[in-house]
Amino acid sequence: MHPFVLTRADDSASAIAAHSQDVQLAFIAGGTDLVALMKDGMELPERLLDINGLPGTERIEELPDGGLRIGALARMSDVAADGRVRARFPVIAEALLFSASGQLRNMATMGGNIMQRTRCAYFRDGDALPCNKREPGSGCSALHGLNRNHAIFGWSASCVATHPSDVAVAFAALDANVIVRGRVGERPIPFAEFYRPPSSTPERDNVLGRGDLIVAIEVPARPEGRASHYLKVRDRQSYEFALVSVAAAVETDGERLRSVRLAMGGVAHKPWRLLAAERALRGILLGNTNGLRSAIAQSFSEARPLTHNGFKVELSQRAALRALLTAGARA
């Protein structure tokens, strides 16, 4: 394995300063993705800075509006088990429980989870086939290769990889903010703006720069939060990434949908909001299955399936309908 030097950070200010000044330094907390990337030669930092001791970043705290601030170093298993998360935002707890294995959830952090990199085999395997994420400018082997697991939305000729996080899909549906501390203070980044489009620089997954440290994810109170559900469709029952997944959250007026929030995983470089479907679903009765199907389909006119993943268009719509109905039954 690539050799490295490990040091420990005592406070966020010194961690941010060190990261901003040293391009060969990487933060490490749970390490469940970074260590794998290092073993595979995808990332080779010379220095690792252990941030597990940063005070306060492991807490789950109340926000004044009834939302929650989830510390970046909170472990996935702790967040999934938290009573406030389970009651107010079941979609978050469910997404976490569908992630990885129990052992990994005990170690992996929330900040690390949303930062994890794609599971595209052309990126991860390191078999010298072209990959713009691994070697910028080399090409995208998946574009005309084996692309069953790849994107149907938002891809470019530079990259068709998908983002692997489950809980990021739930956060996107709930309009959460990533709270980042940098050299000039703390700032919120809406989930819709956190991940970069593949365009011409697919090696850059998100908008963070040197000296940026995720300290929390803030989930605002939403009337739809309590009636929410996460559905994951995968090739096997456990420890597998999504073919497609759906985070659905609804507010109803009796049996009629008043407000709907839908985000999908496994279909794009980031959690993909079905905004056209959300607008079309307002006012439809939950029992009107044909109406729900037609409304959901409005978000798929922009889908661009690849050679081997055309099935995702139909599968995604079926999954969105099922997740919507399950969330609606909780309203």
Residue 310 in this model has a pLDDT that exceeds 90: yes
pLDDT value of position 93: 98
pLDDT in tens, 230-268: 999 999 988 899 999 999 999 999 999 999 999 999 999
Q: Which residue has the higher pLDDT, 228 or 237?
A: 228
Say how many domains are in the chain.
1
Residue range of the domain that includes 244 = 1-331
Q: List residues bridging with 190 in a β-sheet.
A: 177
pLDDT-derived band at 290 (thresholds 50, 70, 90) equals very high
- Phi/psi at 264 (nearest 5 deg)? -125, 145
Alpha carbon of residue 103 to chain centroid = 20
Q: Report the C-alpha gap between 255 and 299 in whole angstroms.
A: 23
Q: Report the C-alpha gap between 151 and 166 in whole angstroms.
A: 15
Instruction: Please give the DSSP secondary-structure letter assigned to residue 196.
Output: P
pLDDT in tens, 152-186: 999 999 999 999 999 999 999 999 999 999 999 99
pLDDT value of position 256: 98
Report the SS3 class of residue 115. helix
Nearest to 27 by CA among 210, 295, 242: 210
Q: Please, what is the average pLDDT of the chain?
A: 97
* CATH code for the domain in which residue 164 is found: 3.30.465.10
pLDDT in tens, 109-120: 999 999 999 999
Contact 91, 249 (CB under 8 A): yes
pLDDT value of position 102: 93
Contact 60, 70 (CB under 8 A): yes
**Phi and psi based region of residue 193 (left: phi greater than 0; alpha: psi -120 to 50; beta: remaining):** alpha
Q: How far is the CA of 193 from the CAs of 11, 97, 127, 151, in angstroms?
A: 27, 25, 32, 18
